[in-house]
């Protein structure tokens, strides 16, 4: 299981928690499991998110590997100027 | 493994596109024409908010020389959800949502005819109440822009239409407990006015749409692949049927990361069956491209007597123009990033108002948050009599700190920039009367993204790097340096070209400070692939295994005496026989670049405030920023200096001024005054290099962080000089004078 | 639309063109003569990207009518280098990395050349005030000012 930390706005959609555990070994699995477990998160995830794994932020990397002890944060999709 | 010893990287060769740009030969967006080309103009709403009851184009169409007129009827709302608002912004539909919103466009044989045609288009408007101010837009009885828009993320769930599109929250710990532990708490509110990126080159394009539904588009943009995909989506085309070529680009700073006129030019060309050139006037750039948000922010920070922050909180409200999508979430994520905080909470409101849809501007959203937060930090430091740099060092985020937006930081350079600032002569220089010194920190994420690069070895041993990101500030030079470094050839042997969308795989927009990082990484990988092929060729020639060949100093060499005793072959020698040893030699990299490294900066600025007029003069400016690794230091300095200068404008001059009628009152460089040479001092730079482990040379992006600290640093300096805390940007003379008079500080 | 015939000299060569009376010199240069080195940043005299010399005087070509060029001498960025040899200012702009996007560069070069023609030893603030009519959004002006000062120094010592 990996612990995924959601940003504050997603708390409600995830049943009032900001830390959830899912069975996943890469980004895509994290996103899929989150959508399955908390269907209300789907809209936010589909709008676009970034995933931070051990401090490095990924925008589009389904297969970036995640270890059980990895620090995983779901973040809004980054954009720049 | 990060490379640390370099022969070329870190030097300052002349940029390869330099001669073109100093002789006038370089072709920018408006510098190209086509035979039989038409000139297009756009009719724009004079109203901030109005229902468009009807548009009658018949009189315009009858005018001799008019070849096409388009309106909302020529654009179907696209299926792709992310393009719907872009479509509505490109051409108004039921309502015009801001002064300048496009309503119709014409293409004619000359500009004169096109101008006349615009006058003949009759639009019947029903003017509606409007709102342009962010706080006013959030009021319960504010005019609603979008019927049916409910606030996402509201608790409890929104039951009424609102101009608040979304609420974002971030943070960790418990701020209530944290504030309870504080000895001193400061709480303040801040406002900033909208600014424009102010690129000197207006948007321009030339569209050629054929009867076979194949089209070519030439335009100035930060990302021609983005333009291709957006235009194809808006026009119902297949992406491969539209080839987009990026012109040289005369500045963007985030403002050219979306489309405005390009789909219109294509639609006109499709209708007219001729090439169509469309160039924005400066007035249109101000009214109808993508300026920044204006904002209103409340900050509350608590500290112990010894200067340790116990809790930090910010509520940010960003107006992002007529459509959702202000960068408030980035403000909420980044504002407290320089600090190691146990308890932090931020809330961001994304608000719509009757203004042009905002676009990114360098580190979008971050400077506004930094302005508010760094102002309070400064005030707290002064309150306990601590040097503001010392105060920041005491609370600074470091490797291992849990960031304000969640993840734990890897190696970062904030502390280095603070320590360097403390040592710098600027910090110790004396100040005169009416002068003040301010410092502030800033943070930006940077990112990588999808990137393709091809690197071709010519038969004479020269090299071309083919990349897909418009060169907005010398990036060709950086690519040439990195390719030459890897290959071991002189810089002058490498040429970098920017390919069109048909000639190279997808590349994300030139933004997020990604180019030197991501395209650089792809260039290095492509070079390494070419090297591997060249080693194989040498191995074949020598008839030894490929593993027994190494690449050193631009030559293939036997790995050791066991491998055999062969004279090293230069790149040129291998390239010369390529035709006989297996064909052309190229390397490629097509990947999504991950591992971008965040970056921090500290800025220090001295100002003088004229007690009679409130005018602020910037006397001295120093930028300290972590670049990871500076590939071409002169252009890194340039990014630092440019960001600081834009920050000066934002802090003391620039603002969108809307009248009661909701119209923009200053859509020109005379009244929207960006800093000129005589407004600024030299801008000193200190480049720090704390390598980013995610890049082979340690590169972090540098383009954006430099605009994060200046608003706050200047506000802190002005507040010291004026003897009163300034909380509203820009700090124009009337505002500064008023603040001073109210506090009994002015001369009058 | 009736057009007016204009004879003028551009970068030393005789040139003739037809233009509408309302057309600016900048439009004529760019659209009729294919001299697109001069840029339009504003069209209102506020940015200097269109700077050219008209009978030896620095002007914003967006504020001059095409017909006003009749019988006069126009110098543009395209005439600044002599063949393959860059003007010292052009060279120094490259060496100092005084351009990022480069769209303001032609205007700055024309304006800076005009300065050095009247003052070969300008102070930093004289350079800054002379160039205050040219906007650059990328560089913060630092490297531009240095490039101009450095050129002036070199040109002086070359003469000495
Ligand atoms: S275009 Fe002439 S001054 Fe701006
Ligand atoms: S270099 Fe871009 S405007 Fe000056």
Quickly state the pLDDT bin for C120 (edges 50, 70, 90). Answer: very high
> From the centroid of its chain, how far is CA B248?
17
- CB-nearest to B169 from A9, A64, A75 is A9
Q: Which domain holds residue B567?
A: 448-593
For residue B171, give the chain A residue with the closest CA.
Answer: A8
In tens, the pLDDT along B270-319 reads 999 999 999 999 999 999 999 999 999 999 999 999 999 999 999 999 99
Answer whether residue B367 is part of any domain. Answer: no
Token reading at B652: 């003391």
Asked whether residue C105 carries a pLDDT value surpassing 90, the answer given is yes
Report the alpha-carbon distance of residue B562 to residue B544 in Å, rounded: 10
If asked whether residues C25 and C46 sit together in one domain, one would say: yes
Q: Does residue B440 sit in the same domain as residue B455?
A: no
Identify all chain A residues contacting B512, using CB atoms and an 8 Å cutoff: 78-81
Q: Does C92 touch chain B (CB under 8 A)?
A: no
Q: How confident is the model at residue B747 (pLDDT cuts 50, 70, 90)?
A: low
Nearest chain B alpha carbon to A64: B594
Closest listed residue to residue C30, CA positions, set C6, C2, C62, C5 = C62
pLDDT at residue B650 is higher than 80: yes
DSSP string, chain C: ---EEEEEEETTEEEEEEE-TT-BHHHIIIIIS--TTS--S-SSSSS-TTEEEETTEEEEGGGSBGGGGTTSEEE-GGGTSBTTBPPHHHHHHHHTT--SS-SSHHHHHHHHHHHHHH-SS--HHHHHHHGGGS--SSS-SHHHHHHHHHHHHHHHHHH-
Contact B587, B533 (CB under 8 A): yes
* R_g over Cα of chain A: 11
CA atoms within 13 A on the CB side of B385: 1
- Residue ending a domain, among C55, C79, C103, is C79
* Gap from CA of C52 to ligand 1 centroid (Å): 10
**CB distance C101–B24 less than 8 Å?**
no
Q: Is B43:B105 a contact under the CB 8 Å cutoff?
A: yes
Is residue B745 over pLDDT 80? no
Tell me which residue in C41, C106, C138 faces B642 most closely, judged by beta carbons.
Answer: C138
B405 CB neighbours in chain A (<8 A) are 7, 73, 75
- Mutate which of B18, B22, B198, B200 for ligand 2? The one with the most ligand atoms within 8 Å of its CB, which is B200
CA distances from B510 to B221, B223, B398, B467 (A): 9, 6, 29, 11
**Confidence class of residue B89 from pLDDT cuts 50, 70 and 90?**
very high
Chain B residues touching C81 at Cβ < 8 A: 22-23
Nearest-neighbour CA in chain B from A30: distance (Å): 16
Which domains occur in chain A, in start order? 2-76 (3.10.20.30)
Characterise C48 by phi-psi region: left (phi > 0), alpha (psi -120 to 50), beta (else).
Answer: left
Q: C67 and C98 in one domain? A: no
End of a domain among B578, B593, B608? B593
Of residues B746 and B655, the one with the higher pLDDT is B655
Chain B positions in Cβ-Cβ contact with residue A76 (cut-off 8 Å): 168, 329-330, 333
Please indicate, yes or no, if residue B191 is contained in any of the structural domains.
Answer: no
CB atoms within 10 A of CB C137: 27
Residues B78 and B219 in one domain: yes
Q: How far apart are CA B610 and CA B195, in angstroms?
A: 24
Residue B709 lies in a domain: yes
Q: Does A60 touch chain B (CB under 8 A)?
A: yes
The total of other beta-carbon atoms located within 10 Å of residue B140's CB is 6
Of B557, B576, B593, the residue that ends a domain is B593
* Same structural domain, B456 and B415: no
Average pLDDT of span B58-77: 98
- Cβ neighbours of residue B178 under 8 Å, at least 6 residues apart? B302, B310, B311, B312, B342, B343
Which residue in C74, C78, C75 sits closest to C8, CA to CA?
Answer: C74
Indicate the pLDDT class of residue B596, thresholds 50, 70 and 90. confident
Considering the domain architecture, whether residues B580 and B459 belong to the same structural domain is answered as yes
Q: How confident is the model at residue B461 (pLDDT cuts 50, 70, 90)?
A: very high
What is the domain-level CATH number for residue C103? 1.10.150.120
Band the pLDDT of B446: cuts 50, 70, 90. Answer: confident
Candidates B484, B316, B307, B315; CA nearest to B384 is: B307
Q: Do residues C68 and C104 both lie within one domain?
A: no
Instruction: Tell if the CB–CB gap between B169 and A56 is shorter than 8 Å.
Output: no
B200 C-beta closer than 6 A to ligand 2: yes
Residue C11 has a CB neighbour count (10 Å cut-off) of 16
Given a contact cutoff of 8 angstroms between Cβ atoms, the answer to whether B514 and B450 are in contact is no
Ligand 2 centroid, distance to B200 Cα (angstroms) = 7
Instruction: Copy the structure tokens of residue B74.
Output: 């020529």
Determine the average pLDDT of the residues in B413-419: 97
pLDDT digits (tens, 9 = 90+) for B356-376: 999 999 999 999 999 999 999
pLDDT band of residue B513 (cuts 50, 70, 90) is confident
> Do B438 and B479 have their domain in common?
no
Separation of alpha carbons B570 and B566, rounded Å: 12
pLDDT the model gives residue C1? 64
Same-domain status, C63 and C92: no
pLDDT of B48 reads 98
Q: Which of B199, B313, B314, B407 would you mutate first to test chain A, the one with the most A CBs within 10 A?
A: B407
C124, C140, C146, C150: best mutation site toward chain B, by most B Cβ within 10 Å? Answer: C140
Is residue B406 over pLDDT 90? Answer: yes
The protein residue with its alpha carbon nearest to ligand 2, atom 3, reads C136
Tell me, in angstroms, the distance from the centre of ligand 2 to residue B179's CA.
46
Going by the DSSP 8-state scheme, the letter that residue B597 receives in this structure is P
Q: CA-to-CA distance for B99 and B50, rounded, in angstroms? A: 10
d(CA C160, CA C142): 27
Q: pLDDT tens digit string along B107-141? A: 999 999 999 999 999 999 999 999 999 999 999 99
pLDDT at residue B471, as a whole number? 95
CATH code of the domain in which B262 resides: 3.90.1170.50
The verdict on C106 and C143 lying in the same domain is yes
The DSSP output letter for B83 is H
CATH of the domain at C73: 3.10.20.30
In a mutational test of the B interface, the residue from A63, A70, A81 whose CB has the highest number of chain B CBs within 10 Å is A81
Cis amide linkage into residue C99, ω under 30° from 0: no
Domain limit, last residue, from B593, B615, B644: B593
Q: What is the pLDDT of residues B27-52, one digit of tens each?
A: 999 999 999 999 999 999 999 999 99
Alpha carbons within 13 angstroms on the beta-carbon side of residue B387 total 11
Q: Do residues B522 and B593 touch, judged by C-beta distance below 8 A?
A: yes
As a whole-number percent, the residues of chain B with pLDDT over 90 amount to 94
Give pLDDT tens digits for B678-687: 999 999 999 9
- C126 touching chain B per CB within 8 A: no
Name which of A59, A71, A81 is nearest B257 (Cβ-Cβ).
A81
Looking at the structure, do residues C75 and C92 belong to the same domain, yes or no?
Answer: no
Q: Are B232 and B87 within one domain?
A: yes
Residues of C in contact with B637 (CB under 8 A): 97, 142-143
- Condensed to tens digits (0 to 9), the pLDDT of residues B692-707 reads 999 999 999 899 999 9
Q: Assess whether B341 and B301 both reside in one domain.
A: yes
Task: Please indicate, yes or no, whether residues B608 and B681 belong to a single structural domain of this protein.
Answer: yes
* Site of tokens 């009248």: B659
CB spacing of B447 vs A78 below 8 angstroms: yes
Number of domains in chain B: 3
> What CATH code is carried by the domain that includes residue B603?
3.30.365.10
Please give the number of the atom of ligand 1 that sits closest to the Cα of C60.
Answer: 2
Number of domains in chain C: 2
Percent of chain B with pLDDT strictly greater than 70: 100
Token pair, residue B486, equals 């890897």
How many beta-carbon pairs below 8 A join chains B and C? 191
B22 to chain C: nearest residue by CA?
C90
Question: With bands split at pLDDT 50, 70 and 90, how would you rate the model's confidence at B738?
Answer: very high
What's the C40 CA to ligand 1 centre distance in angstroms?
5
A37 CA: distance to closest CA in chain B (Å): 19
**Edge-to-edge, what's the strand order for the sheet holding B50-56?**
B95-96, B50-56, B122-127
In this model, does residue C33 exceed pLDDT 70?
yes
Domain boundary among C54, C79, C104: C79
Residue B396, CA distances (Å) to B205, B321, B416 in order: 46, 34, 10
Q: How many other C-beta atoms can be found within 10 angstroms of the C-beta atom of residue B398?
A: 11
| Ligand 1 site, CB within 6 A | C 40-43, 45-50, 60, 62
- pTM for this predicted structure: 0.97
Write out the residue range of the structural domain in which residue C133 sits: 88-159
Confidence bin at B746 (pLDDT 50/70/90): low
In this structure, the answer to whether residues B575 and B613 fall within a common structural domain is no
Write down the mean pLDDT value for chain B: 96
Pairing label, strands C73-75, C4-10:
parallel
HSE at residue B449, side-chain half, CA atoms within 13 A, is: 25
With respect to residue B140, please indicate whether it lies within any of the assigned structural domains. no
Q: Are the beta carbons of A67 and A26 closer than 8 angstroms?
A: no
Helix axes B224-235, B81-90, angle to 10 degrees: 90
- Beta-bridged to residue B351, according to DSSP, are B164, B319
B657 and B574 share one domain:
no
Residues of chain A with pLDDT under 50: none
Residues B653 and B562 grouped into a single domain? no
C57-91 pLDDT per residue, tens: 999 999 999 999 999 999 999 999 999 899 999 99
Single out the residue in C47, C79, C111 at which a domain terminates: C79
């Amino acid at each position: 299981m990996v612990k995924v930390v959601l940003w504050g706005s997603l708390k409600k959609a995830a049943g009032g928690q900001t830390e959830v555990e899912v069975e996943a070994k890469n980004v895509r699995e994290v996103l899929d499991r989150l959508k399955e477990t908390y269907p209300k998160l789907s809209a936010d995830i589909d709008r676009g998110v970034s995933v931070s794994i051990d401090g490095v932020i990924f925008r589009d990397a389904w297969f970036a590997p995640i270890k059980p002890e990895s620090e995983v944060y779901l973040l809004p999709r980054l954009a720049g100027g | 493994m990060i490379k640390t010893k370099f022969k070329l990287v870190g030097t300052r060769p002349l940029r390869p596109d330099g001669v073109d740009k100093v002789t006038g030969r370089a072709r920018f967006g408006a510098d190209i024409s086509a035979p039989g080309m038409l000139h297009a103009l756009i009719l724009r709403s004079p109203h901030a908010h109005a229902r468009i009851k009807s548009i009658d184009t018949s009189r315009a169409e009858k005018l001799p020389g008019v070849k096409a007129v388009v309106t909302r009827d020529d654009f179907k709302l696209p299926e792709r959800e992310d393009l719907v608002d872009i479509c509505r912004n490109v051409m108004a539909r039921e309502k015009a949502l801001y002064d300048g919103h496009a309503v119709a466009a014409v293409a004619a044989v000359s500009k004169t005819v096109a101008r006349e045609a615009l006058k003949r288009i009759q639009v019947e408007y029903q003017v509606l109440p409007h709102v342009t101010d962010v706080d006013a837009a959030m009021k319960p009885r504010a005019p609603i822009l979008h019927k049916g828009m409910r606030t996402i993320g509201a608790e409890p769930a929104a039951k009424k239409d609102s101009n608040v599109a979304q609420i974002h929250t971030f943070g960790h710990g418990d701020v209530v407990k944290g504030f309870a532990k504080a000895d001193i708490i400061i709480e303040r509110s801040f406002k900033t006015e909208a600014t424009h990126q102010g690129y000197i080159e207006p948007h321009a394009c030339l569209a050629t749409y054929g009867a076979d539904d194949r089209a070519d588009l030439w335009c100035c943009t930060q990302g021609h692949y983005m333009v291709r995909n957006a235009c194809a989506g808006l026009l119902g085309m297949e992406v491969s049927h539209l080839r987009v070529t990026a012109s040289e680009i005369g500045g963007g700073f985030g403002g050219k990361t979306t489309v405005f006129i390009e789909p219109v030019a294509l639609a006109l060309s499709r209708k007219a069956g001729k090439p169509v050139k469309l160039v924005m006037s400066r007035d249109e750039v101000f009214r109808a491209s993508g300026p920044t948000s204006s904002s209103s922010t409340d900050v509350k920070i608590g500290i112990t007597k010894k200067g340790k922050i116990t809790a930090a909180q910010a509520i940010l409200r960003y107006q992002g123009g007529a459509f959702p999508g202000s960068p408030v979430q980035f403000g909420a994520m980044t504002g407290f990033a320089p600090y190691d905080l146990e308890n932090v909470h931020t809330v961001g409101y994304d608000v719509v108002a009757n203004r042009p849809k905002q676009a990114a501007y360098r580190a979008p959203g971050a400077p506004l948050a930094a302005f508010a937060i760094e102002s309070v930090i400064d005030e707290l430091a002064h309150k306990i009599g601590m040097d503001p740099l010392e105060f920041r060092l005491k609370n600074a985020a470091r490797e291992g700190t849990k960031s304000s937006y969640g993840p734990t930081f890897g190696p970062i350079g904030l502390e280095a920039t603070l320590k360097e600032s403390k040592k710098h002569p600027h910090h110790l220089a004396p100040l005169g009367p009416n002068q003040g010194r301010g410092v502030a920190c800033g943070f930006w994420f940077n990112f990588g993204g999808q990137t393709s690069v091809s690197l071709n070895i010519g038969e004479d041993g020269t090299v071309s790097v083919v990349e897909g990101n418009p060169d907005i500030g010398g990036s060709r030079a950086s690519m040439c340096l990195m390719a030459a470094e890897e290959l071991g050839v002189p810089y002058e042997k490498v040429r970098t070209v920017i390919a069109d969308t048909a000639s190279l795989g997808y590349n994300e927009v030139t933004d997020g400070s990604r180019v030197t990082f991501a395209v650089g990484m792809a260039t290095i990988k492509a070079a390494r692939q070419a090297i591997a092929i060249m080693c194989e060729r040498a191995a074949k020639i020598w008839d030894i295994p490929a593993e027994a060949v190494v690449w050193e100093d631009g030559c293939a060499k036997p790995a050791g005496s066991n491998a055999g005793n062969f004279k090293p072959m230069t790149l040129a020698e291998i390239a010369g026989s390529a035709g006989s040893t297996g064909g052309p030699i190229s390397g490629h990299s097509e990947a999504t670049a991950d591992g971008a490294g965040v970056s921090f900066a500290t800025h220090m600025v001295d100002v003088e405030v004229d007690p009679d007029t409130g005018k602020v003069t910037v006397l001295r400016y120093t930028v300290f920023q972590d670049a990871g690794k500076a590939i071409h230091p002169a252009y890194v300095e340039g990014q630092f200096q440019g960001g600081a200068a834009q920050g000066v404008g934002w802090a003391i001059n620039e603002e969108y001024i809307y009248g009661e009628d909701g119209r923009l009152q200053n859509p020109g460089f005379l009244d929207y005054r960006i800093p000129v040479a005589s407004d600024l001092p030299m801008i000193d730079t200190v480049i720090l290099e704390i390598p980013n482990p995610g890049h082979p040379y340690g590169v972090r992006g540098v383009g954006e962080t430099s605009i994060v600290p200046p608003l706050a640093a200047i506000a802190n300096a002005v507040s010291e000089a004026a003897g009163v805390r300034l909380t509203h940007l820009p700090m124009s003379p009337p505002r500064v004078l008023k603040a001073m008079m109210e506090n009994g500080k002015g001369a009058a | 639309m009736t057009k007016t015939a204009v004879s003028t000299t551009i970068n030393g060569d005789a040139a003739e063109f037809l233009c509408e009376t309302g057309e600016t010199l900048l439009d004529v240069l760019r659209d009729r003569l294919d001299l697109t080195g001069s840029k339009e940043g504003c069209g209102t005299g506020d940015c200097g990207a269109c700077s050219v010399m008209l009978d030896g005087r620095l002007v914003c070509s967006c504020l001059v009518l095409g017909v006003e060029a009749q019988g006069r001498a126009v110098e543009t960025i395209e005439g600044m280098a002599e063949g393959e040899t860059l003007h010292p200012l052009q060279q120094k702009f490259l060496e100092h990395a005084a351009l990022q996007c480069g769209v303001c560069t032609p205007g700055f070069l024309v304006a800076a050349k005009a300065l050095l023609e009247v003052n070969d030893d300008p102070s930093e603030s004289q350079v800054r005030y002379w160039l205050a009519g040219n906007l650059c959004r990328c560089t913060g002006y630092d490297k531009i000012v240095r490039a101009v000062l450095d050129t002036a120094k070199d040109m002086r010592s070359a003469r000495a």
